[in-house]
Amino acid sequence: MNSIGIYIHIPFCKQKCLYCDFLSFPEGMEQQALYFDALKKEIEISAGECEDYEVTSVFIGGGTPTSVEPSYIADIMGVLKGQYNLAENAEITIECNPGTADYKALRLYRDAGINRISIGLQSAKDNELLILGRIHNRKQFEECYKNARLAGFDNVNVDLMSALPGQTLRDWESNLEYVCSLEPSPEHISAYSLIIEEGTPFYEMYGENSGIRREHLLPLPDEDTEREMYHRTKEILEKNGYYRYEISNYSKSDRESRHNVRYWNGGDYIGFGIGAASLMKGIRYRNISELSNYVEAINKLDIFDILKAIRTEVQPLSKNEQMEEFMFLGLRMVRGVSCAEFERRFSCEMAEVFGEVIAELRGEELLEVTEDGIHLTDYGLDLSNYCMAKFLL
């Protein structure tokens, strides 16, 4: 039986952060109830498409899934367990922001079958959290982390963000050291650099066309400092028992995010909820993003028309597009990509298609060739965007 991953989008949050460009927003209880009723129906209707798949991972993301009534999440888990072929050891993750889930809620999630939690700390410094527009402080994170452990979560990820306004190298180092010192320490750490995205309050402040004078803003770290932060992340986390398996992700042994590895390996996944993306049998599509249109379509259309109405941007991927994605997504991982797997999927050798690019990047010491495949060097990972662009056909 083939395997698949499931992503479930919960768009609601208490307050949108200043850097966030995800499909998320605050919303009242009435709209939340309507959304979850529609979401359950979408998941139920889609079960037939997945009957030949074993579900090996589920990721409940957002938004802030823990900002809604916990029973909504438990109900969704009930539908999945009742109508999908969930693997016995399936990895089931929920995203959580500190201050949005007490012990009782966390225990309910765990009892419902969720076995991994990803906590959005972002910074261990209250002043940095205020700058980001986060709703929690360090004390609330510590309470959330403690309660997650007490509730039975033995697979915990902590998110951290670097290159924040006003942040020094030492500030970042101390954030990493703080997370590593937690008892027990998290099984997984995601360490990302802040990206100023269009359409966010941060872009209004720091974007190219900002009307705000830079002397009135906390400065962003310069390129040299940001590069040093990037290198120190690997050094500090490896010293504390975490190995880097992807550009921004570190884990203890056998604690990689199996759901995210599925994305990077080009495996099949299906997304439920507004804006959720899917890739199944070489066809990519995305759900519509407008909450009211999503709810209306699911509630008013005939069951056979619902999925057609809510799915948009339907794109069968060509063989070239699939090969491109196999390379530039797979090369995000430190282990790189397998020549044998490439040949199995595409019935041709990697060297036939990408031989010149591989030779070029190898000559620039950005890529290494092994018996099994190819992977980026540390230098290549530093210049990953440049390297991956080379694999576009």
Can you tell me whether residue 12 is helix, strand or coil? strand
Cβ partners under 8 Å of residue 201, min gap 6 = 18, 19, 133
| Residue 208 pLDDT > 90 | no
> Does 281 map to a domain?
no
* Number of domains the chain is built from: 2
Q: What is the pLDDT of residue 126?
A: 97
Residues 218 and 367 in one domain: no
Render the burial of 297-311: b for 16+ CB within 10 Å, e for the rest.
Answer: bbeeeeeeebbebbb
Render pLDDT for 82-135 as a digit per residue (tens, 0 to 9): 999 999 999 999 999 999 999 999 999 999 999 999 999 999 999 999 999 999
Residues 82 and 10 in one domain: yes
> Does 23 map to a domain?
yes
Q: List the beta bridge partners of residue 250.
A: 189, 244
> Does 17 map to a domain?
yes
Render pLDDT for 124-166 as a digit per residue (tens, 0 to 9): 999 999 999 999 999 999 999 999 999 999 999 999 999 999 9
| Residue 204 pLDDT > 90 | no
Dist. CA 77–CA 113, nearest whole Å: 7
Residues 242 and 335 in one domain: no
Residues 40 and 139 in one domain: yes
Residues 89 and 178 in one domain: yes
> Does 276 map to a domain?
no
Domain span at residue 374?
323-389
Dist. CA 370–CA 359, nearest whole Å: 13
Q: List the beta bridge partners of residue 169.
A: none
Q: How many helices (H) and strands (E) does the chain have?
A: 16, 15
8 A C-beta contact, residue 83 and residue 44: yes
| Residue 215 pLDDT > 70 | no
Dist. CA 235–CA 372, nearest whole Å: 27
The closest alpha carbon to 114, from 229, 254, 228, 8, belongs to 8
8 A C-beta contact, residue 164 and residue 131: yes
The closest alpha carbon to 235, from 266, 277, 191, belongs to 191
| Residue 7 pLDDT > 90 | yes
| Residue 213 pLDDT > 70 | no
Q: What is the pLDDT of residue 1?
A: 83
| pTM score | 0.95
Q: What is the pLDDT of residue 207?
A: 79
Residues 17 and 147 in one domain: yes
> Does 300 map to a domain?
no
The closest alpha carbon to 16, from 121, 103, 133, belongs to 133
Give the mean pLDDT of 185-192: 98
> Does 129 map to a domain?
yes
Render pLDDT for 305-359 as a digit per residue (tens, 0 to 9): 999 999 999 999 999 999 999 999 999 999 999 999 999 999 999 999 999 999 9
Q: What is the pLDDT of residue 362?
A: 97
8 A C-beta contact, residue 199 and residue 162: no
Give the mean pLDDT of 201-219: 77
Q: How many CB atoms sit inside 10 A of residue 254's CB?
A: 7
Instruction: For residue 75, name the pLDDT band (cuts at 50, 70, 90).
Output: very high
> Does 293 map to a domain?
no
- Percent of the chain scored above 70 by pLDDT? 98
Dist. CA 339–CA 239, nearest whole Å: 32
Residues 237 and 346 in one domain: no
Q: What is the pLDDT of residue 49?
A: 95
8 A C-beta contact, residue 1 and residue 116: no
> Chain-wide mean pLDDT for the chain?
95
Residues 244 and 334 in one domain: no
Q: What is the DSSP string of 265-317?
A: TT--EEEESTT-EEEETTEEEEE---HHHHHHHHHHS-HHHHHHHHEEEEEEP
Residues 349 and 255 in one domain: no
Greater pLDDT, 291 or 207: 291
Q: What is the DSSP string of 136-166?
A: --HHHHHHHHHHHHHTT---EEEEEEES-TT
**Looking at 242, 264, 286, which one is the last position of a domain?**
264
CATH of the domain at 347: 1.10.10.920
Residues 254 and 333 in one domain: no
**Looking at 264, 284, 301, which one is the last position of a domain?**
264
8 A C-beta contact, residue 250 and residue 158: no
Q: What is the pLDDT of residue 206?
A: 85
CATH of the domain at 233: 3.80.30.20
The token duo for 388 is: 């991956």
User: How many alpha carbons fall within 13 Å on the CB side of residue 284?
Assistant: 12
Instruction: For residue 217, name the pLDDT band (cuts at 50, 70, 90).
Output: confident
Residues 162 and 232 in one domain: yes
Torsions phi, psi of 206, nearest 5? -115, -5
Dist. CA 168–CA 221, nearest whole Å: 7
| Residue 259 pLDDT > 80 | yes
> Does 290 map to a domain?
no
**Looking at 264, 279, 314, which one is the last position of a domain?**
264
Residues 108 and 189 in one domain: yes
On the 0-12 / 13-18 / 19+ scale of CB atoms within 10 A, 345 is middle
